[in-house]
Amino acid sequence: MAGCVARRALAVGSRWWSRSLTGARGPRPLCSAGGAGAFPPAATTTTRRHLSSRNRPEGKVLETVGVFEVPKQNGKYETGQLFLHSVFGYRGVVLFPWQARLYDRDVASTAPEKAENPAGHGSKEVKGKTHTYYQVLIDARDCPHISQRSQTEAVTFLANHDDSRALYAIPGLDYVSHEDILPYTSTDQVPIQHELFERFLLYDQTKSPPFVARETLRAWQEKNHPWLELSDVHRETTENIRVTVIPFYMGMREAQNSHVYWWRYCIRLENLDSDVVQLRERHWRIFSLSGTLETVRGRGVVGREPVLSKEQPAFQYSSHVSLQASSGHMW
Digit-coded pLDDT (tens) for 247-277: 888 888 777 778 888 888 899 999 999 999 9
At 98, which amino acid appears? W
Q: What is the pLDDT averaged over residues 7-16?
A: 39
Cα atoms in the Cβ-side hemisphere of radius 13 Å centred on 317: 14
Q: Where are the alpha helices (DSSP H) in the chain?
A: 197-200, 215-228
Q: What is the pLDDT averaged over residues 287-306?
A: 89
At 180, which amino acid appears? D
Q: What is the DSSP string of 142-155?
A: TGGG-TTBS-SB-E
Digit-coded pLDDT (tens) for 51-74: 333 345 566 677 788 999 999 998
pLDDT of residue 43: 40
What's the rounded Cα separation, in Å, for the pair 316 and 311? 15
Q: Give percent of the chain with pLDDT exceeding 70.
A: 71
pLDDT exceeds 70 at position 302: yes
**SS3 label, residue 278:** strand
pLDDT exceeds 50 at position 207: yes
pLDDT of residue 226: 80
**More confident call, 168 vs 165:** 168
**More confident call, 259 vs 184:** 184
What's the rounded Cα separation, in Å, for the pair 138 and 287? 34
What's the rounded Cα separation, in Å, for the pair 46 and 49? 7
Top mean-pLDDT range of 56-70, 190-204, 295-309: 190-204
Q: Give percent of the chain with pLDDT exceeding 90.
A: 44
What's the rounded Cα separation, in Å, for the pair 52 and 55? 6
Q: Residue 94 forms beta bridges with which residues?
A: 136
